[in-house]
Amino acid sequence: MMAAILRRPAPLCALISFAVILAVWQAAVDFGFVKAFFISSPSRVAFELVRQVKNGELAANLSVTLYEFIIGLAFAVLIGGLLGLLASWSETVQHILDPFIWFKYSSPTIAFYPMFVAWLGLGEATIIVMAFLFAVTPIYANTLSGIKNTDPDLIRAAISFGARRHDLFFKVSLPASAPILIAGLRLAVGRALTGVVAAELFGAAAGLGYSMSYYGQKLRTTEMMASLIVIIILGVIFTQALAALEARVGAWRTGPGR
């Protein structure tokens, strides 16, 4: 994972630009251009993070957010993947699901939030459902297009050697679409995190989003920033890990190989 980041083009430039932003932010506050009240400062946020680690606040919020994220994502992978597979095998299933996919694509997912609050109340259940709703579309869409658009030349060659249905699936379609499936997972991870945090902002008793909204309302910018930074770091770690996996699995598509 670390190696993958370092191998990418010009990681040095990225590091430098990041350092410059932090320095400007710190300096703007230290030299009095902007009040710390509005934007806090890197050093304040760092001290706040240390404090939250020591008193266990961070662990408590992080574990709640991660739990909701993982359960929501798991449902999205299971249900989105299963429906995607069924739709790739049967045009009828695909046509039945089409309108729902259009709704999902053309409407903001967060608009469904009040409905689930009415059904499930504020809290964990609704947050997990929001994570699921945010993440399920790319899983479904990528599973469907990946399996369905398997190169017909490969299918025909396999059939000519006597491949049966499960051979075609496990030995041709699935490996052929592995890069697309992982790309779908990468999108879903980012969206599930969005869903969890958004839902936590509106109504929760714990979690990083809850922490941000709680401190935000009390105008305690530093504490709010600390949770924001943790969320950003989570997002970056997840998507970069999956991007690295994607590059590995898809190396045969473009890659230099050995």
- Which parts of this chain interact with other proteins (CB under 8 A)? 151, 153-154, 156-163, 167, 171-172, 175-176, 178, 252-253, 255, 257-258
Maximum distance among all Cα pairs of the chain, rounded to whole angstroms: 75
Distance in Å, CB of 91 to other proteins, minimum: 15
Q: Residue 233 or 251: which CB sits closer to other proteins?
A: 251
One-letter amino acid identity for 35?
Answer: K
Tell me the closest approach of the beta carbon of residue 38 to other proteins, in angstroms.
52
Q: Supply the minimum distance, in Å, between the C-beta of residue 239 and other proteins.
A: 23
Tokens at 153, concatenated? 């030349």
Distance between CA atoms of residues 258 and 243, nearest Å: 19
Comparison of 37 and 252: residue with beta carbon closer to other proteins: 252
Closest distance of CB 249 from other proteins, Å: 8
- 76-87: burial string, b at 16+ Cβ within 10 Å, e else: bbeebbebbbbb
- Which CA distances in Å does 95 have to 36, 101, 102, 145, 169? 55, 10, 11, 14, 22
Closest separation between CB of residue 156 and other proteins, Å? Answer: 7
Tell me the DSSP string of 109-136. Answer: GGGGHHHHHHHH-SSHHHHHHHHHHHHH
The Cα 92–Cα 162 span in angstroms is 27
> Minimum distance from CB of 168 to other proteins (Å)?
10
Q: Which is nearer to other proteins, 87 or 172 (CB)?
A: 172
231 vs 55, 249, 251, CA distance in Å? 19, 27, 30
CB nearer to other proteins: give 54 or 166.
166
- Rank residues 42 and 167 by Cβ distance to other proteins and give the closer one: 167
Q: Specify the residue, 70 or 174, whose C-beta has the smaller distance to other proteins.
A: 174
In whole angstroms, how close is the CB of 164 to other proteins at the nearest point? 8
Beta carbon nearer to other proteins, 150 or 213: 150
Instruction: Look at the block and give the residue holding tokens 């999205």.
Output: 76
Nearest residue to 189 (alpha-carbon basis) of 95, 70, 99: 70
